[in-house]
Amino acid sequence: MMLDEPYRFAEVMANRRDYIEDQLRGGSPVVGVTYSDGILLLTLGRGQLKLSETYDRIAMGSVGHPTDIEKLRQSAVDLASVVGFNYSEADVTLQQIVHFGLGPAIKGSFDDVIHSPYIARILLAELEGDHGSSLCTIDYDGSFSAEPDYATVGGSSDADRAMNKILKTDHDASASLGDSLNLALKVWAAGRSIGLQDEAAGDEVVSVQDDEIRNILKEAVEDLTV
């Protein structure tokens, strides 16, 4: 049996990881930032649902296969609705959805070598929760990370690093919606640029220049919907 041979299991998991990353590469990133009046979630697409409400104060954005994204969105909505009905709306939290819902579901799918994994990366945002507004990302293997001020999910970890590098320098939680929107568009373009580089050059990813960000954004706003 494969599971009795650790080296074979490790090889299967590595192939599984490579397959998912190849499918996600080039996806339209999702950017989440806090600003003076709340949280801004932004992405660009061709009409498909990429941002949605999970519960009253909780929203979700995703990169990946539309069918898998819809399954995970519905799972999050169902969990939130059950908890809210059986207990109270105050008991529905981002942490609960991530720790007891989406995180275990995605990890279970990734570890199950017999069936197809979820091809998705998730960003969740909670407005004015128990610990204030917060964001959280869930990767395709079920690992998750909570962030207080900003978070991103792109088609690759390189895209995430490029986007977060800009946010680390330029993000201002007290900024206006207009300024935050402009920043989020710039960050999205940086992540998108890395995705296009990934598609063209494999693992040889070059850095993102300002002129490249401007060109990507100019083309995107003509072809995609914010």
- Whether residue 62 has pLDDT greater than 80: yes
DSSP state letter for 27: P
Q: What predicted TM-score, i.e. pTM, was given to this entire model?
A: 0.89
Residue range 121-148, pLDDT digits in tens: 999 999 986 667 899 999 999 999 999 8
Distance from C-alpha of 94 to C-alpha of 146, rounded to nearest angstrom: 10
- Whether residue 12 has pLDDT greater than 90: no
Distance from C-alpha of 102 to C-alpha of 221, rounded to nearest angstrom: 32
Residue 196 lies in a domain: yes
DSSP state letter for 194: H
Residue 78 lies in a domain: yes
CATH number, position 68: 3.60.20.10
Residue 20 lies in a domain: no
Residue 76 lies in a domain: yes
Q: How confident is the model at residue 47 (pLDDT cuts 50, 70, 90)?
A: confident
Residue 189, pLDDT score: 95
CB 26 within 8 A of CB 191: no
Residue 96 lies in a domain: yes
Q: How confident is the model at residue 5 (pLDDT cuts 50, 70, 90)?
A: low
Residue 90, pLDDT score: 87
Residue 209, pLDDT score: 83
Q: How confident is the model at residue 206 (pLDDT cuts 50, 70, 90)?
A: low
Residue 6 CA, chain-centre distance (Å), reads 31
Residue 170, pLDDT score: 96
Residue 133, pLDDT score: 83
Selection from 189, 195, 182, 108 nearest residue 143 by Cα: 108
Residue 45, pLDDT score: 92
Question: Which residue range forms the structural domain that includes residue 61?
Answer: 27-223
Residue 41 token pair: 């979630």
Residue 18 lies in a domain: no
Residue 15 lies in a domain: no
Q: Rounded mean pLDDT of the chain?
A: 90
Residue 1 lies in a domain: no
Q: Count, in order, helices (H) and strands (E) of the chain.
A: 7, 8
Number of domains in the chain: 1
Distance from C-alpha of 75 to C-alpha of 100, rounded to nearest angstrom: 11
Residue 52 token pair: 């949605």
The CA-based diameter of the chain, rounded to the nearest angstrom, is 58
